Structure 1
Amino acid sequence: MNTSPVNTAAEQPHRFDPSGGCPHADNARLLARGAVAPVVLPGDVQGMAVLGHDALKEFLAHPDVAKNAQHFAALQAGEIADGWPLKTFATVQGMTTADGDDHRRLRSLMSKAFTPRRVAELRPRIEAMTDSLLDRLDRAAAAGDGVADLRTHFALPLPMGVICELLGVDAEYHDRLHHLSNQIVATDIGPEAAMAANREMVEVLGAVAAARAAEPGDDLTSALIAAREENGDRLSPHELIGTLMLTIIAGHETTLNLITNAVRALCTHREQLDLVRSGKAGWADVVEETLRWDSPVSYFPFRYPTRDLTLGGTVIPQGTPVLAGYSAAGRDKQAHGPDADRFDITRESTARHLSLGHGAHFCMGAPLARMEATIALEQLFTRFPGLDLAVPEPELPRHASFVGNSVQKLPVRLSGRRP
């Protein structure tokens, strides 16, 4: 039972910068005010953000919190314009916007692709793909005077290749799908560009679905189509496209940011890298601490209280669009201790990070993302033990989004190669 005093004092809402940037300074300032903060989204849409670890954990599993946009009061009142940069997060049809029986139905269909056995069977393929991409990174560095963009040549094509192989998406679509995913998660995009990106994404995924319908394979898209045809009410055409869209975006953007952020963290905390090399910590520890310390998703849209909800001493009105503040919760000192701002792969904490979600909507692909990142980091630093950033970390250009949390490029200098 929440016994915190209800916050009724007027506060100046935090106005999100549509161009993104590093979230941690703003997060610390907001957390000092409380676990829940009023925010202004692009287009002057009023919302709330849940920032504190304990409040977020409660919110993510609360029975009176929904994902379906029928509970988004401003949207239902016609106050949200077409082309609003965050509208896709609210209106796309799929697991992330479904509740109750619909959510269980969609999750059941998807779960077949992410069973422990199926994920384990992907390990040899991921290891081989990683090895090949390290060759590609090496060639790019050789052509660039020893410097290459690790994000472009390694951190991106690995998870994109894995998720597209799982879905049965041909390689010819990979670059376009990444570009469109970037457009959809961008928060600084204009209305016309936002609508164009959504239209093109639907067209591309429609072509993918048509190809798999014509030539079914041993992939998730073919399985989803077969399930729809066996029982017409199990997966509608809109749900099929929405599910593919969400799986591709979540399946590569999150892991792309995770790998990128982990490499940045290790390059700027060499003593932590030495702990792994000396056997005092493992690569899995690097992955978990990166997820906590520099979450690949900063603020994820949306959830909506189905009644006025008091959380962390603050009232969140019914129908308010609420963002899950994963990057803030990861550095909440009340949960992770006074040194929560420190990157420490040997950290012992009773509070497990929430960066992959919690409750019914916990990330289904979490084991796959963890495995990809662990393999990628181990093979990368084994092949290139002297790898380091080619520019000072503060100069790296940040994501143009307050949803994703990472940098746009990661130029690294390769040295100390091992065969």
Structure 2
Amino acid sequence: MTSGSHVLDPTGSDIHAEAALLRARGSVTPVELPGGVTAWSVGRVDLIRQLLADPRVSKDPSQHWRAWKNGDIPEDWPLNIWVGVNDMFNAYGPDHRRLRSLVSKAFTARRVAALRPRVDRMVADLVDGLAAGPNVVDLRAEFAYPLPIEVICLLFGIPDDARAGLRKSVDGIVDTTTTPEQFLENQHRVYEILNGLIAAKRAEPGDDLTSGLIAAREEDGATLTEDELVNTLLLLIAAGFETTVNLLDHAITALLTHPDQRRLVVSGERTWHDVIDETLRWQAPVANLPLRYAVEDITVDGVDIRQGDAIIVNYAAAGRDPAHHGATADEFDLTRADKSHLAFGHGVHYCLGAPLARVEAEVALRALFGRFPDLALAVPADELRPVQSFITNGHLSLPVALTPERL
């Protein structure tokens, strides 16, 4: 890898400005992650699609990441939980097909459709709760967070007393400012919670995905190892609510800061599906996703990526790629003819939970803006602060006034 790598801002203070800077450096450019770990950043739509569909690109560090195989990545590296666990997310080839086949049964169209009435009720309860509370409220904490968490807890049979700890652990996983000591502490906490969940479900199985995965593990141990079981749960739970939280957060923010676009939805000229897709394009819930690895030497847009090199996909840059979306790529525009995006990934690792996230977002946004038609930000938009991460893309808080005239 060439010298002169750009050091990714661990605080994620302005991911789109950083994406533009990386774009100016080249379509494939070296970056430095925490701990001095280097990777190639790719942010152009056509090149990402090419790489994510290429069998010469892997997600298994134990097989294909040179630095990992050489022992250069310490156990307390803060991004280890993203790349160093045995699960579907980091599997390659037959292992990935085996794990995805097992997990995909949990996210069938039939199961997602069956969840719709429960999501409707959850959203109605949340909106009623907002109406009964104070006029100024943090919608990220009181609306965008609770819905996906409730859905995931319903799916996996997670008890009430584990939810706060799980939420804190997932926040720690996506925080790219954590120290090695904080990483190890958080890793211990999250595995303690998940192992406790597995033990409880072994003792008393229920009609939930945790029990289903345990049954698959115990009926045929070759199908799912114990390590894969706990890490698959971690993947599905963390990915299942953090990304949806950010989708809701940014969709609400976009409509509150673009009154002309909001009017298009209210009038029925544009749909909530338009809002969801344009939000996913304009503000990808995952900004940069680590990591992938070159199985052999490959050349991407004239840049030689050597066997064993790491690759990080810049979804934030892809969503605003002017080569694909034109000169208005930075604008939030529901009338845009092409709102295509890669926010759910591409190829064999395409997000299994995408249909569920869409259902949650549509129900939530329709109910929120229907109940509070005058909803407005309670602070200037430039005072909204991002979460401390170059991986996840959302706000620390989203203060709004449900009825502005009561301010």
Provide the TM-score with structure 1 as the length reference: 0.94
In 2, the alpha carbon distance for the partners of 1:317 and 1:212 equals: 45
**Partner deviation per Cα, 1:32-69 (whole Å, 9 max, x = no partner):** 33221110111111111111111111111111000111
In 1, the alpha carbon distance for the partners of 2:225 and 2:370 equals: 46
Please name the residue that 1:381 is paired with: 369
Please name the residue that 2:90 is paired with: 97
Please name the residue that 1:55 is paired with: 47
1:407 matched to 2:400? The reply is no
- Does the 8 Å contact 2:292/2:310 carry over to 1? yes
- Does the 8 Å contact 1:47/1:321 carry over to 2? yes
User: Following superposition of structure 1 onto structure 2, how do residues 65-76 of structure 1 map, counting pairs within 5 Å?
Assistant: 65-70=57-62, 71-76=64-69
Please name the residue that 1:36 is paired with: 28
In structure 1, which of residues 192, 206, 213 is the aligned counterpart of residue 202 of structure 2?
A: 213
In structure 2, which of residues 151, 167, 177 is the aligned counterpart of residue 188 of structure 1?
A: 177
Shift, 1:300, TM fit? 0.5
Please name the residue that 2:118 is paired with: 125
- Does the 8 Å contact 1:34/1:312 carry over to 2? no
In structure 2, which of residues 102, 105, 108 is the aligned counterpart of residue 112 of structure 1?
A: 105
User: Following superposition of structure 1 onto structure 2, how do residues 314-333 of structure 1 map, counting pairs within 5 Å?
Assistant: 314-333=303-322
Shift, 1:177, TM fit? 0.6
User: Match of 2:302, as an amino acid?
Assistant: G
- Does the 8 Å contact 1:51/1:326 carry over to 2? yes
In 2, the alpha carbon distance for the partners of 1:416 and 1:268 equals: 14
In 2, the alpha carbon distance for the partners of 1:67 and 1:383 equals: 44
Please name the residue that 1:4 is paired with: none
Please name the residue that 1:5 is paired with: none
**Partner deviation per Cα, 1:254-282 (whole Å, 9 max, x = no partner):** 00000001111110001111001111100
Partner of 2:35, secondary structure, is: coil
- Does the 8 Å contact 2:277/2:340 carry over to 1? no
Q: What's the % identity of the aligned pairs?
A: 48
Shift, 1:305, TM fit? 0.6
Please name the residue that 2:15 is paired with: 23
Shift, 1:313, TM fit? 2.1
- Does the 8 Å contact 1:41/1:47 carry over to 2? yes
Partner of 1:80, secondary structure, is: coil
Shift, 1:82, TM fit? 2.2
In 1, the alpha carbon distance for the partners of 2:398 and 2:100 equals: 34
Provide the TM-score with structure 2 as the length reference: 0.97
- Does the 8 Å contact 2:290/2:312 carry over to 1? yes
In structure 2, which of residues 75, 81, 98 is the aligned counterpart of residue 88 of structure 1?
A: 81
- Does the 8 Å contact 1:227/1:234 carry over to 2? yes
In structure 2, which of residues 344, 353, 356 is the aligned counterpart of residue 356 of structure 1?
A: 344
In 1, the alpha carbon distance for the partners of 2:253 and 2:312 equals: 26
1:178 matched to 2:167? The reply is yes
- Stretch moving more, 68-77 or 361-370: 68-77
- Does the 8 Å contact 1:384/1:414 carry over to 2? yes
1:370 matched to 2:332? The reply is no
Partner of 1:385, secondary structure, is: coil
- Does the 8 Å contact 2:319/2:342 carry over to 1? yes
- Does the 8 Å contact 1:161/1:174 carry over to 2? no
Shift, 1:110, TM fit? 1.1
**Partner deviation per Cα, 1:215-238 (whole Å, 9 max, x = no partner):** 111111101111111111111111
Please name the residue that 1:339 is paired with: 328
**Partner deviation per Cα, 1:359-408 (whole Å, 9 max, x = no partner):** 00000000000110111110000011111111111111211110001111
Residue-pair matches, total: 404
In structure 2, which of residues 128, 138, 142 is the aligned counterpart of residue 135 of structure 1?
A: 128
Please name the residue that 2:274 is paired with: 285
Please name the residue that 2:252 is paired with: 263
User: Match of 1:38, as an amino acid?
Assistant: P
In 2, the alpha carbon distance for the partners of 1:312 and 1:30 equals: 15
Please name the residue that 2:242 is paired with: 253
In 1, the alpha carbon distance for the partners of 2:308 and 2:123 equals: 44
1:78 matched to 2:66? The reply is no
In 1, the alpha carbon distance for the partners of 2:375 and 2:310 equals: 42
Shift, 1:11, TM fit? 6.4
Shift, 1:86, TM fit? 0.7
Segments of 5+ residues of structure 1 without an aligned counterpart are 1-7
In 2, the alpha carbon distance for the partners of 1:225 and 1:365 equals: 20
Shift, 1:22, TM fit? 2.2
1:303 matched to 2:295? The reply is no
- Stretch moving more, 24-33 or 58-67: 24-33
Partner of 2:336, secondary structure, is: coil
Shift, 1:416, TM fit? 7.6
In 1, the alpha carbon distance for the partners of 2:404 and 2:8 equals: 42
In 1, the alpha carbon distance for the partners of 2:388 and 2:404 equals: 33
Partner of 1:151, secondary structure, is: helix
Partner of 1:382, secondary structure, is: helix
User: Match of 1:128, as an amino acid?
Assistant: R
Partner of 1:346, secondary structure, is: coil
User: Match of 2:169, as an amino acid?
Assistant: L
